[in-house]
Amino acid sequence: MYCHYVCMTRMQASCLISVLQSCLIMHHVMLQVPMLVVFGKPLELPKIKNPSDDEVQKYLQMYIEAMEALCEKHKNSAGYGNTIIKVV
């Protein structure tokens, strides 16, 4: 069995679900692939009009760490228990 494991934000998941629903309505699905979608707690970020490169990197790192933690938390239930998550 082939399984996809995807970590995403609520907005990304909402867009993906809309696209998938449209595809399912328009086309007959020949291959069904199980997909686990999980939602993490939202990140509280300040609104900065002109962020510096250091500020962007700081909040990008927070986002990456939150995504890695979410993936680590749920990878066993998705069947990827021995997988190492690496963001490049």
For the chain, give every domain's residue range. 4-74
Token pair for 85:
């998550």
User: Where residue 35 falls among pLDDT bands split at 50, 70, 90?
Assistant: confident
Mind spelling out the 3-state secondary structure of 8-68? CCHHHHHHHHHHHHHHHHHCCCCCCCCEEEECCCCCCCCCCCCCCHHHHHHHHHHHHHHHH
68 Rama class: left (phi>0) / alpha (psi -120 to 50) / beta: alpha
User: Tell me, what's the pLDDT at 86?
Assistant: 78
User: Where residue 52 falls among pLDDT bands split at 50, 70, 90?
Assistant: very high
